A = this chain, B = another copy of it.
Amino acid sequence: MKTRRPLADSTAVHDQVYEAIRQALITGRIAPGKGVSLRSLAAELSVSPMPVRDAVRRLVAERALAINPVNKRLSVPSLSADRLEQLSMARLWVEPELAARAAARADTGLVRQLQAIDSDLDEALRLGDVDRYMAANHAFHFALYERAGAEVLLAMAGGLWLQIGPFMRVVFGRVGADVLVADRHAEAIEAIRAGDVDGARRAIAADLSEGMEKMRVAVEAAL
């Protein structure tokens, strides 16, 4: 296919490829431990290997993909209890911090936005729609975090979510989405509405802590 992209203001192909692989990783469409290749990904996405190469470099740098140091082949990082523990600790530091900063800068618009996302999340949960639940959960957290105005920390959080993505799918695959009903989102929203910075921090910390604990149990059972 020799079609050329005519304009530059449109998002570059390698960015679309990045997003496609990222989603496939998070939603578990590419299983952890599985090997992938530039050309196979390119064929699957109907693009040339070139933009895939760019996207993959980025994902490797973000540790969402691993590269075998000896034969240089690509694979999805395997899940390990050790990795999960480190990712949990890191999330448990960064994300409550982002939540606290966001709470300090929140307004009624943010509160309404979070409420809307959370009700969408509840509906997805009620319907048992795992994909929609995961999307809504991601949307909730990052709508909040973005308000913190902390670019560096936000990027760290994004990288951690990307690495944790495959773990989440394992949990859902094992126990189903219904186990995750109990979240602390309402608690967080209430704290944000009240301008309670430290309450928002605690609510998000509790939300994460409980979620990660479920993952820990699921992973331990899976290994």
Q: Which residues of chain A have a CB within 8 Å of any CB of chain B?
A: 8, 12, 53-54, 57-58, 60-63, 72, 83, 86-87, 89-90, 93-94, 97, 150-153, 155-156, 163
Contact = CB atoms under 8 A, between A and B. Distances in A.
A215 B157 CA distance: 25
Majority SS of interface residues in chain A? helix
A118 to B, nearest CB: 27
Nearest to A97: B89
The 3 closest A-B pairs by CB, nearest first: A61-B61, A86-B152, A57-B57
A90 B156 contact: yes
B54 A90 contact: no
13 contacts: A12-B72, A54-B57, A57-B57, A58-B61, A63-B152, A83-B151, A83-B152, A87-B152, A89-B97, A90-B152, A90-B153, A90-B156, A156-B156
A111 B57 CA distance: 36
Contacts of A153: 86, 89-90
A90 B83 contact: no
Contacts of A58: 57-58, 60-61
B61 A57 contact: yes
A94 to B, nearest CB: 7
A15 to B, nearest CB: 10
Contacts of A94: 90
A62 B63 contact: no
A163 B156 contact: no
Contact of A86 (B54, B72, B151): B151
A155 B63 contact: yes
Contacts of A163: 152
